[in-house]
Amino acid sequence: MKFKNKTFPLHATESCLYKLTKYRNIYFDLDNTLWDFETNARDTFREIFDIHHLWNTITDFERFISTFALYNEQSWEKYRLGQIRKEELRIERFCLTLHRLKIPDHNLSGLISDNYLELMPQKSNLVENTLKVLEYLKPRYRLFILTNGFHDIQSAKLENSGIRHYFNGIITSEDTRWSKPDPRTFEYALKSVNAKKAESLMVGDNLILDISGARNFGMDQVFFNRKMISHDMNITYEINELKELMLIL
């Protein structure tokens, strides 16, 4: 774990309910920070492969997963830039994935997209120690979700994985009209719940969307570096496991 500010007070013990932090509001990214997107996506696609008997058509499941991850990210980037609409994003990522795998079946893309939107939010795998950390933080701070997803989908993920009640609010890019890393997203997220910038902290796994976005807005950040990537960005805190949050907060 790395701390930019070495003199930050970390002397409180576990028996002390309130540590001496300046924070009152903790904003969490959802996908791959608390909700295990990668595991849940794999489970969803296994189910979809069963439904449409795709195991003989798409024999390399891992290639399907990595191809989808690529186009999903690309399509989201186009959506963030306003180049495509929500409905186009939802179908395009599957069209491009199947096309790359030499299965240009537009009808199948639509069916997979419908299945994905229905099944994915029902999955409930959480990142390790999510419940333990939320249970610890809940009496101490106001907790919020700040996510680039769609409101109905992200809310369903929180409900179905049993963590909705930990949060004082869910703010999605659909609510803000902007997406992370746009500083206006963070500004909206704070203003809408009367939170002060100096008392707020962003926790996320994405160096650009969560960390760079919060930093450019002037808000402290915790980079959840799950994959231990190397970087040279100046970050307030960096952790490799979620439970390390309990040492900071």
User: What distance in Å separates the CA atoms of residue 214 and residue 11, rounded to the nearest whole number?
Assistant: 26
Considering beta carbons, is residue 206 or 225 the nearer one to Mg ion? 206
Q: According to the binding rule CB under 5 A, does residue 220 interact with Mg ion?
A: no
User: Please, what is the minimum distance in Å from the beta carbon of residue 107 to Mg ion?
Assistant: 31
| Interface residue with Mg ion, options 31, 92, 182, 238 (CB under 5 A) | 31
Considering beta carbons, is residue 38 or 199 the nearer one to Mg ion? 38
Q: Site residues for Mg ion, window 143-202 (CB under 5 A)?
A: none
User: What distance in Å separates the CA atoms of residue 113 and residue 153, rounded to the nearest whole number?
Assistant: 13
Q: According to the binding rule CB under 5 A, does residue 36 interact with Mg ion?
A: no
Q: Site residues for Mg ion, window 53-82 (CB under 5 A)?
A: none
Please say whether the beta carbons of 214 and 186 come within 8 A: yes
Considering beta carbons, is residue 79 or 98 the nearer one to Mg ion? 79
Residues 167-194 as b/e (b if ≥16 CB within 10 A, e otherwise) read: bebbbbbbbbebbbbbbebbbbbbeeee
Angle at 187 between CA 220 and CA 80, to 5 degrees: 100
User: Please, what is the minimum distance in Å from the beta carbon of residue 125 to Mg ion?
Assistant: 14
User: What distance in Å separates the CA atoms of residue 160 and residue 96, rounded to the nearest whole number?
Assistant: 29
Q: According to the binding rule CB under 5 A, does residue 238 interact with Mg ion?
A: no
Q: Is 228 exposed, middle or buried (0-12, 13-18, 19+ CB in 10 A)?
A: exposed
| Interface residue with Mg ion, options 36, 205, 220, 238 (CB under 5 A) | 205
| Interface residue with Mg ion, options 25, 32, 40, 236 (CB under 5 A) | 32
Going along 10-71, which residue ranges are E strands? 25-28
* Site stretch for Mg ion (CB under 5 A), options 22-30, 98-106, 156-164, 172-180: 22-30
User: Please, what is the minimum distance in Å from the beta carbon of residue 2 to Mg ion?
Assistant: 20
Q: According to the binding rule CB under 5 A, does residue 29 interact with Mg ion?
A: yes
- How would DSSP label each residue in 105-165? -HHHHHHHHHHHHHHGGG---B-TTHHHHHHHHTTTSEEEEEESS-HHHHHHHHHHTT-GG
Cα 70 to Cα 61, 116, 247, distances in angstroms: 14, 16, 35
User: Please, what is the minimum distance in Å from the beta carbon of residue 141 to Mg ion?
Assistant: 20
User: Please, what is the minimum distance in Å from the beta carbon of residue 29 to Mg ion?
Assistant: 4
Q: Site residues for Mg ion, window 74-133 (CB under 5 A)?
A: none
Q: According to the binding rule CB under 5 A, does residue 25 interact with Mg ion?
A: no
Q: Which residues bind Mg ion (CB under 5 A)?
A: 29, 31-32, 205-206
